[in-house]
Chains A and B, each alone.
Chain A
Amino acid sequence: MIVIPCPHCSVRNASEFRHVGEAGSRPDPATVTPEQWRAYLYERSNPAGWTTETWFHTVGCRRYITVERHTVTNEIRAARPAGRDGRGGREPAEVLSTRADSGSPDAGGQA
């Protein structure tokens, strides 16, 4: 199980966090087309390499953080408090599926 260097709490097991998803910015809802909006909701680039993603420290500081992680080696080279790239919205499919274990600190990471 990997460790995540939370900028507030220092190094912690990944099971303390919820992996929110690839970082991205929310398009302007006033001018966005349905195609652009759905790309924001559902499409990810999912590289085999460095990615910038958002994690939420569920049982720690309860802050959203932005992490740069290599998806093949799991090396982490940066972790900082999330800004507007932390995605104002959540992937909708996850919203209801987390209800059953909402609040469970072990959701999403096992040793």
Chain B
Amino acid sequence: MNGKKLGAGLRGLLNCLIPILLAFLVGGIVIAVIGENPLNTYWVLLQKSLFTKVGFQNTLHYAGPMILTGLAIAVTFKANIYNMGVEGSLLLGAFFAGILGSRMTGNPFVVKLVCLAVGVLCGMAYSLVPALLKAKLRADEMVVTLMLNYALAKVLEFLTTGIFRDNGSGYVCTPMVSESAMFSRIFGKSRLTAFFFIVVAIWIVMTLYMRRGRLGYEIKAMGMNAEFAEATGMNVGKKIILLMLLSGALAGFAGAGWMMEDQYRYTLTFSGNPGLGWDGMLIALMGGHNPVGIFIASIFYAALKTGSDKINMYTNVPKEIVALIQALIVLFLAVKFIDGRFHLFERLKGKKGKESKTCS
């Protein structure tokens, strides 16, 4: 029994390592084709992000919001709700947290609390729209959230260039948040702030909730067979709304936090490219929709991000190559290499594995 569990764990680990290695392999070929040294590039990528003190702290800093968006994706994707609106929730939460943060001064603790709460509320309000459409009208949530994201981006662009524009600044952005709404850097040299530790606390609560709580079980049941879940007495429509709200809240919190610990003002490139919400999707997939997996995956992914900035500095490889590697990871992740198709695991274990299988 114990051995079987260990085998499953190893299988999961391999299932997520093989795509990463394959993606790096293909990426390496591309780097070699443009005439650079792939090993050197990858060494810079990893060394500058994981094996120096400042680099590692920066990696943790970038991982913070990604853990939250990863969880936000996981709670819906695992229940077979394809909520692409995490990016939108994050942007809306960040925008209004930023606006409020720029107008409010006073007790730093209260200001931060209010801003984060506003972020959460905005994120929830945004995800309520597709949730209601899905639960009441059964409109496909994926198409709806994608459309809403574009509509929201246009609205926020309008607000940033118009009403809320900071006229003192040379480029299009909202005013900077006040001193009391900023999370300050703990270690001075690196960007790490207290927000990361709040994220860790939320992560622990979510892990316990998804592992031991009723919610985790319900998510699993809905993901496996929504009709059956309904038949056994679960109100699936209501649960969809609940999960979408939870997802929106996590994403809004991530957005507000990112605003207050790193960006300080809303710009048109606030969440980067491809955006923290999309990063979250990759992380949730890489981590197998499992909280522990998500935590590890976000550290790894944040390392890619911090490292990719350094690639430009130390080599001639454009950092767009990292975006290509990300895409390849997602592509290879879609296929379960180990037991889905090739039964590689059984083959590796050889005859002994087969025997134990027949025994159990």
Tell me, yes or no, whether A binds B: no
Footprint of B on A, CB under 8 Å? Answer: none
